Structure 1
Amino acid sequence: MDFTMYWFMLPVSTLVATGAMLGGIGGAAMFMPIFLIVFPLLGPEFAIAGPVAAIGVALLTEAFGFSSGLIGYLRRHLIDFKIAKSLIIIAVPSAIVGSFLSQYADPDMLKIMYGALMLILTYIMLRRPSTKEKEKITKDTLAGKFEHIGHERTITDNEANSFKYHLCHPGKGKAFTGIGGFITGLMSVGIGEIVTPQLVKQCKMPVSVAAATSVFVIILTVAAASGTHIYSLISEGGVDAVPWHLVLYTVPGVIIGGQIGSRLQGKFSAEKMEKVFAGLFGVIGIAMISIVFL
């Protein structure tokens, strides 16, 4: 195992994590095409042993990438743990089931499904609420305009700012949360793209609380899915079945990128970044499906 082979993934991972932070997406969505499309073009020695190994590394990398954001939200006391728990008990088991099933899926079928998912995410990204819409939802929520939708919640951050809001019944979106967790385990993306819009647009959570709660749900779901994939790889092929010489560069890269992205927040238009990534997802989806048939 050559531990210098993937040195270039340190700057690449840093760039991916920075962009993902600015665009509000999960980095795993960007790593999969790098692993499955770009690496084989560099030479057979760079290719990863199939989609399952790529998914495991992408999820493990994403878990570390979200860690710095989670620490920040924990310090600010912005996570609604009661709501997060109601989502986690659905998302985590679903992710584990999806992770186990991916071991038995045909590799080409996984690539086709991933490509199709990217095209669906393109549509979802373009349908995300705009910055003005999110600001209006937060303002209306804190003004008590959604008292009719459910029970009252109060979150007080570390600066003594209180967020009082009425939240829809937490069971309302459990089916979508389960689907998001399942496809995250199966194909590495899905939970973040489903949970965040659900909490903001459907459940009328203040954006800052929704973002913090989503990160907590995402990181536990991704950690469970990545742990399952890594366990399966080691069980079948031993410790060397995991490409540690790749993880060696992707993990520190996303940690660095997460810090850079958080410092650049507000300097770039979030809506423009989302549109850029939506277009990129569309290209990735078409490319991923194409490599199966070419």
Structure 2
Amino acid sequence: MDIVLLILAGFIIGTIVISLGGGGAAYYLGILTTIFGLGPASAAATSLVTAFPSLLIGSYSYFRLHKINFKIALRMIYAAVPAVIIGSLISPYIPEKLYSYIIGGILAYLGIQLLLQSKQNNHRAGQAAAIVYGVIGGLMVGVGGLSGGGPITAGLLVMGADMVTAAATSSLVLVTMTFVGICFHLQAGNVDWGVGIWIMIGAILGSFLAPILLNRLDPAKFTKYVKPILGIMLVVMGAFTAFK
């Protein structure tokens, strides 16, 4: 029964988060700690490993559909990778409560931006935003074992991308960040493969479905309805993270 539940959870999360441009590590982290009882360190490492294959498949699917904005993706990757490395190195020395406040505040701020700001037209501001959101996403991966999908996708939407382009471009950035994060977290040997492998299988199945669904939708309409929902979700997640 646990195996079926794990596969189902992975499938649902994999489909939804890749459709929204995220890696889902935050959701996997929550399920692993609250439902399956893994410790924080083990859950963080397992969530990254679990999210990676589905991200890789989703990113390749978006590539075949020609939906990825490589120029912005590379700019974010250049900013994010050093942040992942730095975050991974300093994470053992950051008090857990302080980290919760920082990440919670960042998520809430991004959510408010999505709710209030529809488009960023200034090219220089867009370049700066790509770097800033890349650094934030990288720190989330390195410090907390999260995928960093929230700030990356939110940043792309604030910069004016439609939801399909944001999801596709975000998937490539997250593949790179997650791979670097895994390299550091695997050294600690905290991955629970007995649990993670089954969620991974479900997530992989979901990752095949998400790009196909998005390619059948109208990007403008999908962005119009999903953008405020994503903004509200980020605000709620930020508040929960800060004050849990």
TM-score by length of structure 1 reads 0.65
Give 3-state SS (helix, strand or coil) of 2:176's partner. helix
Number of residue equivalences:
240
Q: CA deviation at 1:212?
A: 3.7
User: For 1:66 and 1:287, how far apart are their aligned partners in 2?
Assistant: 25
Q: CA deviation at 1:5?
A: 5.1
Q: Which has the higher helix share?
A: 2
Give 3-state SS (helix, strand or coil) of 2:94's partner. coil
Match of 1:218? 174
RMSD: 3.6
Equivalent residue in structure 2 for 1:192, among 127, 149, 153: 149
Q: Note the 1:18-167 alignment, pairs <5 A.
A: 18-36=15-33, 38-39=34-35, 46-50=36-40, 52-127=41-116, 129=118, 149=123
Instruction: Decide whether the 8 Å contact of 1:94 with 1:178 is kept in 2.
Output: yes
Name structure 1 gaps, 5 residues minimum: 40-45, 138-145, 151-167, 235-240
Match of 2:206? 257
For 2:131, the aligned partner's letter is K
Q: CA deviation at 1:111?
A: 4.5
TM-score by length of structure 2 reads 0.76
Instruction: Decide whether the 8 Å contact of 1:128 with 1:197 is kept in 2.
Output: no
User: For 2:91 and 2:60, how far apart are their aligned partners in 1?
Assistant: 30
Instruction: Decide whether the 8 Å contact of 2:7 with 2:199 is kept in 1.
Output: yes
User: For 1:216 and 1:254, how far apart are their aligned partners in 2?
Assistant: 17
Q: CA deviation at 1:248?
A: 0.9
Change (3 A) 1:194 1:111: closer
User: For 2:109 and 2:58, how far apart are their aligned partners in 1?
Assistant: 26
Instruction: Decide whether the 8 Å contact of 1:121 with 1:278 is kept in 2.
Output: yes
Give 3-state SS (helix, strand or coil) of 2:93's partner. coil
Match of 1:17? 14
Percent same amino acid among aligned pairs? 22
Match of 1:182? 139
User: For 1:273 and 1:77, how far apart are their aligned partners in 2?
Assistant: 21
Q: CA deviation at 1:220?
A: 0.4
Give 3-state SS (helix, strand or coil) of 1:26's partner. coil
Q: Which has more radius of gyration?
A: 1
User: For 1:22 and 1:102, how far apart are their aligned partners in 2?
Assistant: 30
Instruction: Decide whether the 8 Å contact of 1:125 with 1:278 is kept in 2.
Output: yes
Instruction: Decide whether the 8 Å contact of 1:92 with 1:181 is kept in 2.
Output: yes
Q: Deviations over 1:6-38 (max 9, x none)?
A: 5412101211122223434331232222233x2
